[in-house]
Amino acid sequence: MKPETVQRWAFALLLVTPALWSANYLVARLAPGEIAPHMLALCRWALAATVLGVFAFPELKAKRHLILKNAWHYLVLGALGMWICGAWVYIGARSTSATNIALIYSLSPAFIVLCASMWLHEKLRDIQWLGIALAFAGLIHVVIRGQWGNLLEVRFVPGDLWIVACAFSWAAYALLMKKWPTDFSPMARLVLTAIGGCIVLLPFTVIEAVSGLPLTQTLWGWKSFALIALAGLVPGAFAYWAYSTAQKTLGAARTAMALYMGPLYGALLGWVFLGETVTGYHAIGALLILPGLYLASYSHSGHQSAATKS
């Protein structure tokens, strides 16, 4: 394949990747009443691990003696990336919109930069602090629905707070992925992390199933299986493949631009499939969050840095 064709293919994947990620927000909004949050997260990552595991199996088999070396790493990463950033998204989606989820989740790179400063003592430039301030102002604007004049009377939507927790959890996940060394390729590591996440999710899924609480029961049928397949294949296995393929050709900095398109795709999917509307506070929030994210993601060398979603 010619280099020009490879470049065009990589850019096409770059445009598709955030749409694949945003499909998870659509699943989250459609799941209540069909499949319980922890059950959906467990089945999603079990399916994704199985699909990706087919390709990673030769490496995992060759390095099987190394799997237990840092097994607890995969449990911690699985708890952050697959339990909190999985089941909690589905819990939060019961009371917030796909657009809100996409906007709040788009703050993850800014959270990563902030947490790196706090935990890893990385020094930030003034422009990065400005970006973080803008991004957080946009986050607050979205969460309070733009009601600055009646701030003390604002009723916070529980779903938004669940998603904020998920965004912080993703920042911790990304930082630990960077901090902890690995003997495996990114795909094999993701498979092991997904397995760790399934182990963490399993007891919560059982508790959820026997609790008898509203919206914790799963109605097994074609809708629930379709949601599992959509969540496991599209924002799981396919999104990872598309992002990693684009990254190999375009580089990490250029590929990270896909993160900025998440809110656009999230709002578009919410409008087309769920009948959600984009309001003024969404637009103002996006105008604060996206430039803030752009500024916050600048490294000392002037090149953008961002973590890869999984």
Tell me how crowded residue 48 is: count the other CB atoms within 10 A of its CB.
27
Q: How many other CB atoms are there within 10 angstroms of residue 186's CB atom?
A: 16
Phi, psi of 180 (to 5 degrees): -85, 125
- In this structure, what token pair is assigned to residue 310? 């999984």
Mean residue pLDDT of the chain comes to: 86
Read off the pLDDT of residues 10-26 as tens digits, 9 standing for 90 and up: 888 888 888 898 999 99
| Most confident range, picked from 22-31, 100-109, 255-264 | 22-31
User: Which are the contacts of 280, defined by CB distance < 8 A and separation ≥ 6?
Assistant: 146
Three-state DSSP class for residue 304: strand
Q: At which residue do the structure tokens 């602090």 appear?
A: 129
Q: Please give the pLDDT value at position 257.
A: 65
Q: Convert the pLDDT of each residue in 56-81 to its tens digit.
A: 999 999 999 999 989 999 999 999 99
- Beta-carbon neighbour count of residue 237 at 10 Å? 24
- pLDDT-derived band at 164 (thresholds 50, 70, 90) equals very high
Identify which of 116, 259, 227, 249 has the alpha carbon closest to the alpha carbon of residue 174.
Answer: 116
Give the residue carrying structure tokens 């790196």: 116
Instruction: Enumerate residues 6+ apart whose C-beta is below 8 A from 54.
Output: none
Cα–Cα distances (Å) from 167 to 115, 136, 225, in that order, read 12, 12, 27
pLDDT for 301? 42
pLDDT for 192: 97
pLDDT of residue 293: 77
**pTM of the predicted structure, to 2 decimals:** 0.85
Higher pLDDT, 76 or 239: 76
Task: Report residue 195 as tokens.
Answer: 């397995």
The model's pLDDT over 281-306, given as tens digits with 9 standing for 90+, comes to 888 988 888 888 778 766 544 444 44
Cα R_g (the chain), whole angstroms: 19
Task: Calculate what percentage of the chain has a pLDDT beyond 70.
Answer: 90
Band (pLDDT 50/70/90 cuts) for residue 242 is: confident
Q: Using the predicted structure, report yes or no on whether residue 151 has a pLDDT greater than 70.
A: no
Sign of the Cα pseudo-torsion (80, 83, 89, 91, in order):
negative
